[in-house]
A = this chain, B = another copy of it.
Amino acid sequence: MPKLRVHNFSMSLDGYAAGPLQDLKHPLGRGGERLHEWVFETVAGHAMFDGGGGGSTGIDNEFLERGDRGIGATIMGRNMFGPIRGPWLDEEWTGWWGGNPPYHHPVFVLTRYPRPPLVMEGGTTFNFTNDSIEDVLERAFTAANGADVRLGGGVSTVQQYLRASLVDELHVALVPVLLGSGERLFDHLDGGPTGMERVEFAASDGVVHVVFARR
């Protein structure tokens, strides 16, 4: 059975997966970029964001690579797609990732304000939908054509699927810093992850990786 997987979901020691006050200059909220510095230090991170060259191998790189393996579609919330709130004023915004986003497969963006699909270079198509999370998951599994579906983020999107007990694998990358405020991953879950058990725990010299799987 194909799975719904969350990978490399970075979180501070005090539980925040994003800083406060996300905007155009702060896609991860104020201070949130500290949670993702580790990504840019790896081989896979370089390949993903600046075309390759350099970076570290090792545990962090392995976990990062694993997040792309066997994935045929991605689901993300609208805040992960961009900083715009409310109705789209125009269709100029095409995501944070430039013309060739690092997905290369169908992406489903949850939003109350649908708009026409956005076909990007490199095989990524952004589909905008206000369907229920269950229906979107169904469509994503169909689009993935037997491969797994990745649940990208942000926090509230992951929480919705956790509450519905639809997440099969959850990989948290804990970064031992304090952010002080922001959005917490492990809030508003109503016991959603109760049925998950820890299946992996490994630390590099900067990040703690913990993986939970649905029993």
A: residues with CB less than 8 A from B are 13-15, 172, 174, 176-178, 180, 184, 186, 189, 191, 193-194, 196, 198, 201, 203, 205-206, 208, 210, 212
Contacts and interface: CB of A to CB of B under 8 A. Distances in A.
A186 to B, nearest CB: 4
A210 B15 contact: no
A194 to B, nearest CB: 6
A201 B176 CA distance: 7
Contacts of A172: 13
A15 B174 CA distance: 12
A210 B208 CA distance: 11
A193 B180 contact: yes
B174 A208 contact: yes
